[in-house]
Amino acid sequence: MLKDSKISHHRTSSVQNANCVVMVPPKEFKFNAETAGDNEFQHQLDLTNDQVTKQAMSEFDAMVERLRSEGVQVVEFDYPLSGTETPDAVFPNNWFSTTPDGSLYTFPMACRNRQCEVRPEALIKQLQESGRAVNKQVSLEHLVENHTYLESTGVMVFDHLNHTIYAALSQRCNKQVLNNYAQRVGYDRVVSFSTALPGSNSPIYHTNVMMAVGESFCVICDEVIVEEERRFVLKSLSKDKQIISISVDQMNHFCGNLLQLETASGQKVIAMSKSAYDAFTPAQINQLSSHGKLLPFDVSTIEQIGGGSVRCMLGEVFLPKK
Protein backbone atom coordinates (compact mmCIF):
# COMPACT_ATOMS: atom_id res chain seq x y z
CA MET A 1 0.00 0.00 0.00
CA LEU A 2 0.97 3.61 -0.50
CA LYS A 3 2.73 5.29 2.38
CA ASP A 4 3.12 8.97 3.01
CA SER A 5 5.70 8.52 5.75
CA LYS A 6 5.85 11.43 8.16
CA ILE A 7 9.22 11.77 9.86
CA SER A 8 10.08 14.77 11.99
CA HIS A 9 13.71 15.88 11.84
CA HIS A 10 15.81 19.00 11.64
CA ARG A 11 15.57 20.45 8.14
CA THR A 12 18.42 21.80 6.10
CA SER A 13 17.55 24.69 3.80
CA SER A 14 17.57 23.64 0.18
CA VAL A 15 17.19 24.71 -3.41
CA GLN A 16 15.77 22.54 -6.16
CA ASN A 17 18.46 22.82 -8.80
CA ALA A 18 22.17 22.11 -8.73
CA ASN A 19 24.58 24.35 -10.65
CA CYS A 20 27.29 21.69 -10.61
CA VAL A 21 27.24 18.04 -11.72
CA VAL A 22 29.60 15.07 -11.68
CA MET A 23 29.98 13.21 -14.98
CA VAL A 24 31.97 10.02 -15.53
CA PRO A 25 33.54 9.19 -18.91
CA PRO A 26 32.28 5.87 -20.38
CA LYS A 27 35.76 4.30 -20.62
CA GLU A 28 34.47 0.74 -20.08
CA PHE A 29 30.95 1.26 -21.40
CA LYS A 30 29.16 -1.70 -22.96
CA PHE A 31 25.97 -3.78 -22.57
CA ASN A 32 25.75 -4.82 -18.90
CA ALA A 33 24.24 -8.32 -18.69
CA GLU A 34 24.07 -8.06 -14.86
CA THR A 35 21.65 -5.12 -14.91
CA ALA A 36 19.60 -6.33 -17.89
CA GLY A 37 17.56 -8.68 -15.69
CA ASP A 38 15.27 -5.88 -14.46
CA ASN A 39 16.10 -3.03 -16.85
CA GLU A 40 13.78 -3.33 -19.84
CA PHE A 41 15.31 -0.20 -21.39
CA GLN A 42 18.61 -1.92 -22.32
CA HIS A 43 19.24 -3.19 -25.87
CA GLN A 44 22.13 -4.97 -27.54
CA LEU A 45 23.33 -3.15 -30.67
CA ASP A 46 25.19 -4.73 -33.57
CA LEU A 47 28.43 -2.87 -32.87
CA THR A 48 31.90 -3.94 -31.78
CA ASN A 49 33.09 -2.97 -28.29
CA ASP A 50 35.50 -0.48 -29.86
CA GLN A 51 32.69 1.15 -31.85
CA VAL A 52 30.50 1.35 -28.73
CA THR A 53 33.30 2.97 -26.69
CA LYS A 54 34.12 5.46 -29.44
CA GLN A 55 30.48 6.51 -29.94
CA ALA A 56 29.75 6.70 -26.21
CA MET A 57 32.87 8.81 -25.54
CA SER A 58 31.93 11.14 -28.38
CA GLU A 59 28.39 11.59 -26.97
CA PHE A 60 29.80 12.15 -23.48
CA ASP A 61 32.40 14.73 -24.57
CA ALA A 62 29.81 16.74 -26.53
CA MET A 63 27.47 16.79 -23.53
CA VAL A 64 30.22 17.96 -21.14
CA GLU A 65 31.29 20.71 -23.55
CA ARG A 66 27.74 22.00 -24.09
CA LEU A 67 26.85 22.03 -20.38
CA ARG A 68 30.02 23.98 -19.61
CA SER A 69 29.35 26.42 -22.44
CA GLU A 70 25.88 27.05 -20.95
CA GLY A 71 27.42 27.86 -17.55
CA VAL A 72 26.87 24.62 -15.63
CA GLN A 73 29.95 23.46 -13.68
CA VAL A 74 30.92 19.91 -14.71
CA VAL A 75 33.28 17.88 -12.53
CA GLU A 76 34.65 15.19 -14.83
CA PHE A 77 35.38 12.23 -12.56
CA ASP A 78 37.94 10.25 -14.51
CA TYR A 79 37.80 7.32 -12.12
CA PRO A 80 40.65 4.87 -11.54
CA LEU A 81 40.17 1.48 -13.22
CA SER A 82 39.98 -1.65 -11.06
CA GLY A 83 40.07 -5.40 -11.63
CA THR A 84 36.32 -5.49 -12.28
CA GLU A 85 34.92 -3.75 -15.36
CA THR A 86 32.29 -1.10 -14.68
CA PRO A 87 30.23 -0.84 -17.89
CA ASP A 88 27.64 1.47 -16.24
CA ALA A 89 30.06 3.94 -14.60
CA VAL A 90 28.71 6.64 -16.95
CA PHE A 91 25.61 6.70 -14.67
CA PRO A 92 27.11 8.03 -11.39
CA ASN A 93 23.84 9.36 -10.01
CA ASN A 94 23.01 5.85 -8.76
CA TRP A 95 25.78 5.54 -6.17
CA PHE A 96 26.15 8.90 -4.47
CA SER A 97 24.26 12.02 -3.47
CA THR A 98 25.24 15.30 -1.86
CA THR A 99 23.54 17.78 0.46
CA PRO A 100 24.02 21.52 1.05
CA ASP A 101 25.52 20.91 4.51
CA GLY A 102 28.54 19.30 2.84
CA SER A 103 27.58 15.64 3.25
CA LEU A 104 28.34 12.98 0.64
CA TYR A 105 26.26 9.80 0.87
CA THR A 106 27.15 6.53 -0.85
CA PHE A 107 24.52 3.88 -1.51
CA PRO A 108 24.01 0.11 -1.70
CA MET A 109 23.84 -0.95 -5.37
CA ALA A 110 21.96 -4.08 -6.45
CA CYS A 111 24.41 -5.41 -9.08
CA ARG A 112 27.89 -6.60 -8.16
CA ASN A 113 29.74 -4.89 -11.00
CA ARG A 114 27.95 -1.64 -10.20
CA GLN A 115 29.08 -1.85 -6.56
CA CYS A 116 32.64 -1.48 -7.92
CA GLU A 117 31.74 2.00 -9.20
CA VAL A 118 31.53 3.33 -5.64
CA ARG A 119 34.83 5.17 -5.11
CA PRO A 120 34.13 7.87 -2.51
CA GLU A 121 37.75 8.75 -1.65
CA ALA A 122 38.66 9.45 -5.29
CA LEU A 123 35.43 11.41 -5.84
CA ILE A 124 35.88 13.50 -2.67
CA LYS A 125 39.40 14.42 -3.78
CA GLN A 126 38.14 15.52 -7.18
CA LEU A 127 35.23 17.49 -5.72
CA GLN A 128 37.51 19.32 -3.31
CA GLU A 129 39.92 20.12 -6.14
CA SER A 130 36.90 21.56 -7.99
CA GLY A 131 36.20 23.96 -5.13
CA ARG A 132 33.48 22.04 -3.29
CA ALA A 133 33.61 21.26 0.42
CA VAL A 134 32.93 17.72 1.63
CA ASN A 135 32.51 17.96 5.41
CA LYS A 136 31.16 14.48 6.06
CA GLN A 137 30.89 11.12 4.30
CA VAL A 138 28.06 8.73 5.15
CA SER A 139 28.16 5.21 3.73
CA LEU A 140 25.05 3.04 3.43
CA GLU A 141 26.90 0.45 1.34
CA HIS A 142 26.99 -2.13 4.15
CA LEU A 143 23.24 -2.68 3.60
CA VAL A 144 24.20 -4.73 0.52
CA GLU A 145 24.91 -7.57 2.96
CA ASN A 146 21.19 -7.69 3.81
CA HIS A 147 20.27 -7.62 0.09
CA THR A 148 18.61 -4.24 0.64
CA TYR A 149 19.33 -1.59 -1.98
CA LEU A 150 18.73 2.10 -2.55
CA GLU A 151 20.22 3.39 -5.80
CA SER A 152 20.36 7.09 -4.90
CA THR A 153 18.75 9.54 -7.33
CA GLY A 154 18.01 6.70 -9.73
CA VAL A 155 15.27 5.56 -7.38
CA MET A 156 14.66 8.78 -5.41
CA VAL A 157 13.25 11.82 -7.19
CA PHE A 158 13.54 14.85 -4.92
CA ASP A 159 11.24 17.79 -4.47
CA HIS A 160 13.79 19.71 -2.42
CA LEU A 161 11.57 22.77 -2.00
CA ASN A 162 8.93 20.68 -0.20
CA HIS A 163 11.38 18.28 1.50
CA THR A 164 9.65 15.38 -0.24
CA ILE A 165 11.08 12.24 -1.85
CA TYR A 166 9.13 10.37 -4.56
CA ALA A 167 10.13 6.76 -5.08
CA ALA A 168 8.85 3.80 -7.12
CA LEU A 169 9.47 0.69 -5.02
CA SER A 170 11.47 -2.13 -6.65
CA GLN A 171 14.33 -4.47 -5.83
CA ARG A 172 16.61 -1.44 -6.26
CA CYS A 173 14.54 0.69 -3.87
CA ASN A 174 14.01 -0.82 -0.42
CA LYS A 175 11.29 0.98 1.51
CA GLN A 176 12.97 0.72 4.91
CA VAL A 177 16.31 2.06 3.64
CA LEU A 178 14.43 4.80 1.77
CA ASN A 179 12.63 5.97 4.91
CA ASN A 180 15.84 5.78 6.92
CA TYR A 181 17.69 7.93 4.38
CA ALA A 182 14.87 10.50 4.36
CA GLN A 183 15.16 10.74 8.13
CA ARG A 184 18.92 11.19 7.96
CA VAL A 185 18.68 14.13 5.55
CA GLY A 186 15.71 15.71 7.33
CA TYR A 187 13.10 15.17 4.61
CA ASP A 188 9.87 14.60 6.47
CA ARG A 189 7.78 13.29 3.60
CA VAL A 190 8.27 10.15 1.52
CA VAL A 191 5.77 9.31 -1.22
CA SER A 192 6.57 5.73 -2.21
CA PHE A 193 4.40 3.83 -4.67
CA SER A 194 4.17 0.69 -6.79
CA THR A 195 4.47 0.56 -10.59
CA ALA A 196 3.71 -2.01 -13.28
CA LEU A 197 4.98 -1.92 -16.86
CA PRO A 198 2.39 -2.88 -19.49
CA GLY A 199 3.00 -6.36 -20.84
CA SER A 200 5.48 -7.66 -18.27
CA ASN A 201 3.77 -6.16 -15.18
CA SER A 202 7.30 -5.66 -13.78
CA PRO A 203 8.05 -2.65 -11.60
CA ILE A 204 9.99 0.28 -13.08
CA TYR A 205 13.65 -0.35 -12.26
CA HIS A 206 14.44 3.33 -11.55
CA THR A 207 11.98 6.10 -10.66
CA ASN A 208 13.94 8.63 -12.72
CA VAL A 209 12.98 7.00 -16.03
CA MET A 210 9.28 7.62 -15.33
CA MET A 211 9.36 11.01 -13.60
CA ALA A 212 11.35 14.20 -13.08
CA VAL A 213 10.63 17.04 -10.66
CA GLY A 214 11.73 20.61 -11.32
CA GLU A 215 11.21 23.80 -9.37
CA SER A 216 7.65 24.33 -10.58
CA PHE A 217 6.93 21.42 -12.94
CA CYS A 218 6.87 17.64 -13.00
CA VAL A 219 7.11 15.24 -15.93
CA ILE A 220 5.51 11.90 -15.06
CA CYS A 221 4.32 8.70 -16.73
CA ASP A 222 1.48 8.32 -14.25
CA GLU A 223 -0.17 5.43 -16.12
CA VAL A 224 2.52 3.02 -14.85
CA ILE A 225 1.64 3.79 -11.21
CA VAL A 226 -0.81 1.21 -9.88
CA GLU A 227 -4.30 2.62 -10.11
CA GLU A 228 -5.16 2.79 -6.40
CA GLU A 229 -2.04 4.89 -5.70
CA ARG A 230 -1.94 7.09 -8.79
CA ARG A 231 -4.33 9.83 -7.64
CA PHE A 232 -2.47 10.31 -4.35
CA VAL A 233 0.87 10.82 -6.13
CA LEU A 234 -0.61 13.27 -8.66
CA LYS A 235 -2.44 15.20 -5.94
CA SER A 236 0.80 15.57 -3.99
CA LEU A 237 2.69 16.85 -7.04
CA SER A 238 -0.05 19.17 -8.27
CA LYS A 239 0.01 21.32 -5.11
CA ASP A 240 2.68 23.56 -6.62
CA LYS A 241 3.86 21.90 -9.85
CA GLN A 242 2.65 22.02 -13.42
CA ILE A 243 2.17 18.34 -14.29
CA ILE A 244 3.27 17.23 -17.76
CA SER A 245 1.92 13.72 -18.22
CA ILE A 246 3.76 11.44 -20.65
CA SER A 247 2.74 8.14 -22.27
CA VAL A 248 4.54 4.80 -21.88
CA ASP A 249 5.90 5.23 -25.41
CA GLN A 250 7.30 8.66 -24.48
CA MET A 251 8.77 7.17 -21.30
CA ASN A 252 10.47 4.53 -23.46
CA HIS A 253 12.09 7.43 -25.35
CA PHE A 254 13.35 8.75 -21.98
CA CYS A 255 11.02 11.75 -21.74
CA GLY A 256 10.90 11.19 -17.97
CA ASN A 257 14.69 11.14 -17.67
CA LEU A 258 15.49 14.83 -17.62
CA LEU A 259 16.96 17.25 -15.10
CA GLN A 260 16.48 20.94 -14.43
CA LEU A 261 19.79 22.64 -13.59
CA GLU A 262 21.01 26.16 -12.96
CA THR A 263 23.84 28.03 -14.63
CA ALA A 264 26.45 30.10 -12.79
CA SER A 265 24.34 33.19 -13.50
CA GLY A 266 21.17 31.57 -12.10
CA GLN A 267 19.48 30.78 -15.42
CA LYS A 268 17.38 27.60 -15.55
CA VAL A 269 18.23 24.91 -18.12
CA ILE A 270 16.63 21.50 -18.66
CA ALA A 271 18.94 18.69 -19.78
CA MET A 272 17.39 15.82 -21.74
CA SER A 273 18.25 13.47 -24.60
CA LYS A 274 17.54 14.25 -28.22
CA SER A 275 15.31 11.17 -28.41
CA ALA A 276 13.26 12.54 -25.48
CA TYR A 277 13.07 16.00 -27.08
CA ASP A 278 11.88 14.49 -30.36
CA ALA A 279 9.22 12.39 -28.57
CA PHE A 280 7.60 15.31 -26.71
CA THR A 281 4.60 16.92 -28.39
CA PRO A 282 4.91 20.58 -29.48
CA ALA A 283 2.54 21.53 -26.63
CA GLN A 284 4.73 19.73 -24.10
CA ILE A 285 7.87 21.40 -25.52
CA ASN A 286 6.14 24.77 -25.00
CA GLN A 287 5.27 23.84 -21.42
CA LEU A 288 8.81 22.69 -20.64
CA SER A 289 10.36 25.75 -22.31
CA SER A 290 8.55 28.00 -19.86
CA HIS A 291 10.63 26.39 -17.07
CA GLY A 292 14.07 26.80 -18.63
CA LYS A 293 16.18 26.62 -21.79
CA LEU A 294 15.94 23.11 -23.23
CA LEU A 295 19.26 21.36 -23.84
CA PRO A 296 18.79 18.17 -25.91
CA PHE A 297 21.84 15.88 -26.16
CA ASP A 298 22.33 13.05 -28.62
CA VAL A 299 23.27 10.14 -26.34
CA SER A 300 21.55 7.46 -28.42
CA THR A 301 24.35 4.87 -28.05
CA ILE A 302 24.50 5.32 -24.27
CA GLU A 303 20.75 5.24 -23.73
CA GLN A 304 20.03 2.27 -26.00
CA ILE A 305 22.81 0.04 -24.67
CA GLY A 306 22.87 1.32 -21.09
CA GLY A 307 19.13 1.68 -20.54
CA GLY A 308 19.65 5.08 -18.93
CA SER A 309 19.79 8.56 -20.39
CA VAL A 310 20.85 12.15 -19.72
CA ARG A 311 19.55 12.47 -16.19
CA CYS A 312 21.31 9.22 -15.18
CA MET A 313 24.60 10.67 -16.44
CA LEU A 314 24.39 13.64 -14.06
CA GLY A 315 25.32 13.35 -10.39
CA GLU A 316 24.08 16.59 -8.81
CA VAL A 317 26.46 18.50 -6.52
CA PHE A 318 24.74 20.51 -3.79
CA LEU A 319 27.92 20.80 -1.70
CA PRO A 320 28.90 24.30 -0.51
CA LYS A 321 31.74 26.12 -2.23
CA LYS A 322 35.02 26.11 -0.33
Tell me how many domains the chain contains: 1
In a domain, 307, yes or no: yes
Q: Does the residue 231 lie in any domain?
A: yes
- At residue 112, the pLDDT reads 83
- Distance of alpha carbon 78 from alpha carbon 123, whole angstroms: 9
Domain annotation covers residue 321: no
The pLDDT value recorded for residue 88 is 85
Per-residue pLDDT of the chain (322 residues; tens, 9 = 90+): 333 333 334 444 458 999 999 999 998 886 545 554 445 544 566 667 778 888 899 999 999 999 999 999 999 998 777 777 888 889 999 999 999 999 999 999 888 878 888 999 999 999 999 999 999 999 999 998 889 999 999 999 999 999 999 999 999 999 999 999 999 999 989 999 999 999 889 999 899 999 999 999 999 999 999 999 999 999 999 999 999 999 999 999 999 999 999 999 999 999 999 999 999 999 999 999 999 999 999 999 999 888 789 999 999 999 999 9
Q: Is residue 233 part of a domain?
A: yes
In a domain, 250, yes or no: yes
* 241 in any annotated domain: yes
Q: What is the pLDDT of residue 174?
A: 94
Please check whether residue 276 is in contact with residue 296, taking contact to mean a CB–CB distance below 8 angstroms.
yes
Give residue 252's domain range: 3-316
Residue 68 lies in a domain: yes
Is residue 322 assigned to a domain?
A: no
Query: What's 66's domain CATH number?
Result: 3.75.10.10
